[in-house]
């Protein structure tokens, strides 16, 4: 798609990331509430001594924000879950972002540590009174005794002055 046919009210993540950095340096907090299911797979020993993989669904509820505490993208759960994506790369001009980072998640009474990845798409829209950043994608990763995956959708609203 050439630049003459692009919609001027939609900006790709490539152009949005510098804007997010500017917002994070201002007094405005660029974050939103988000909620989505996460599937966690972990090994469980059976009564016969065998090891089987067990899937459990945990509901992530918390906030998602940009450029917070050294994280380019940060998911902070109300239950103490923390996913910090501290390395991101935009994949060209097509609104896609991929990244890696860490996770700390409460599982069975202890906090499990591991690695995380994100594969997301962002779209910037503008109307008369507000700017919207629609952010959705997949997140996953794992640690020594678990793997996890989930999909999320979040909308950030920034009022125009």
Please, which residues have CB within 8 angstroms of residue 154's CB and are 6 or more apart in sequence? 32, 33, 34, 64, 134, 135, 136
Q: Is the pLDDT of residue 7 over 70?
A: no
pLDDT classification of 30: cutoffs 50, 70, 90: low
Q: Is the pLDDT of residue 43 over 70?
A: yes
If you average pLDDT over every residue of the chain, what do you get?
Answer: 81
pLDDT in tens, 94-148: 578 899 999 999 877 889 999 999 999 988 888 888 888 888 999 999 999 899 9
pLDDT at 59: 92
DSSP H stretches of helix in the chain: 13-25
Please provide residue 139's backbone torsions phi and psi, each rounded to the nearest 5 degrees.
-135, 145
| pTM assigned to the model | 0.75
pLDDT at 78: 95
Q: Please give the C-alpha separations between residue 121 and each of 53, 63, 138, in angstroms, as whole numbers.
A: 31, 18, 9
More confident residue, 58 or 18: 58
Residue linked to tokens 């879950």: 81
pLDDT in tens, 49-64: 999 999 999 899 999 9
CB 77 within 8 A of CB 60: yes
All structural domains of the chain with their residue ranges: 3-30+55-159
Please, which residues have CB within 8 angstroms of residue 35's CB and are 6 or more apart in sequence? 59, 60, 61, 62
Written as six digits, the tokens of 115 are 């690695």
């Amino acid at each position: 798609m050439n630049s003459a046919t692009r919609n001027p009210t939609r900006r790709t993540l490539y152009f949005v990331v510098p804007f997010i950095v500017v917002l994070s340096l201002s007094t405005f907090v660029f974050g939103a509430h988000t909620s989505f299911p996460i599937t966690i797979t972990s090994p469980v020993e059976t009564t016969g001594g065998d090891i089987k993989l067990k899937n459990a669904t945990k509901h992530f509820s918390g906030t998602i924000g940009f450029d917070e505490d050294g994280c380019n993208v940060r998911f902070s759960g109300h239950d103490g879950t923390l996913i910090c994506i501290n390395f991101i790369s935009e994949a060209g001009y097509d609104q896609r972002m991929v990244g890696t980072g860490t996770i700390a998640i409460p599982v069975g009474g202890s906090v499990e540590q591991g690695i995380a990845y994100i594969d997301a798409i962002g779209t910037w829209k503008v109307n008369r009174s507000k700017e919207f950043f629609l952010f959705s994608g997949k997140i996953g990763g794992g640690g020594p005794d678990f793997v996890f995956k989930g999909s999320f959708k979040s909308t950030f609203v920034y009022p125009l002055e």
